[in-house]
Amino acid sequence: MKYALLTAMVSAFFIAACSDDNPTSVNIISNDDPMSRTGSLYVDESQQLLVETFNNVQGNRCDLENYNLIWKTIQKDVLTDSFHYEFIGDTLALYNIYDEGISDYGNLYVGGTAGNIYGTWVYTGFGRDKKTGELEHSTNTRYMTRTYIYAPGKVTVSVEYHMDLYVADEQARGYMESGFMAKLYGYLTSRSKLDDVIYIMDNNEKASKVAESIEQNGVQIIEGSKTNQTFKIGDKTYTVNVKKAETTLHYTGHTNREAVVEVTDGTTTCSSYAIYKTVDENLCKTENLQYFSVYNENDDDGNNYFYVSSYKNTDHEQFLECLNGIALPITGN
User: In the chain, what are the domain boundaries?
Assistant: 4-161, 165-326
Would the pLDDT of 9 be above 60?
no
Q: How far is the CA of 31 from the CAs of 9, 78, 148, in angstroms?
A: 11, 16, 20
pTM of this prediction? 0.77
What whole-number percentage of the chain has pLDDT above 70?
89
Environment class of 105 (CB within 10 Å of its CB; exposed 0-12, middle 13-18, buried 19+): middle
The average pLDDT across 155-175 equals 90
Strand partners, 70: 63
Residue 332 confidence (pLDDT): 59
**Tens-place pLDDT, residues 257-280:** 999 999 999 999 999 999 999 999
**Tens-place pLDDT, residues 218-253:** 999 999 999 999 999 999 999 999 999 999 888 777
Q: What is the DSSP string of 190-205?
A: H------GGGGG--SS
**Tens-place pLDDT, residues 183-202:** 999 999 999 999 999 999 98
Longest Cα pair distance anywhere in the chain, in angstroms? Answer: 74
Residue 36 confidence (pLDDT): 84
Q: Spell 316-333 as b/e; 16+ CB within 10 A means b.
A: beebbebbeebbbeeeee
Residue 33 confidence (pLDDT): 53
- N-term to C-term CA, the chain: 56
Secondary-structure percent of the chain, ordered helix, strand, coil, rounded to 5: 20, 50, 30
Residue 34: pLDDT band with limits 50, 70, 90: low
Would the pLDDT of 140 be above 90?
no
Q: How far is the CA of 248 from the CAs of 147, 172, 274, 310, in angstroms?
A: 23, 16, 14, 15
Pairing of strands 304-308, 49-65: antiparallel
**Tens-place pLDDT, residues 115-130:** 999 999 999 999 999 9
Tell me the one-letter amino acid at 291: Y
Q: In 30-67, where do the E strands start and end?
A: 36-44, 49-65
Would the pLDDT of 6 be above 60?
no
What span, in angstroms and rounded, lies between the C-alpha atoms of 205 and 109? 26
**Tens-place pLDDT, residues 299-331:** 777 889 999 999 999 999 999 999 999 999 987
Residue 13 confidence (pLDDT): 32
Q: Which range (84-88, 98-102, 123-127, 309-313) has the least confidence?
A: 98-102
User: Measuring CA to CA, which residue among 186, 248, 193 is closest to residue 216?
Assistant: 186
* Average pLDDT, rounded, for the chain: 87
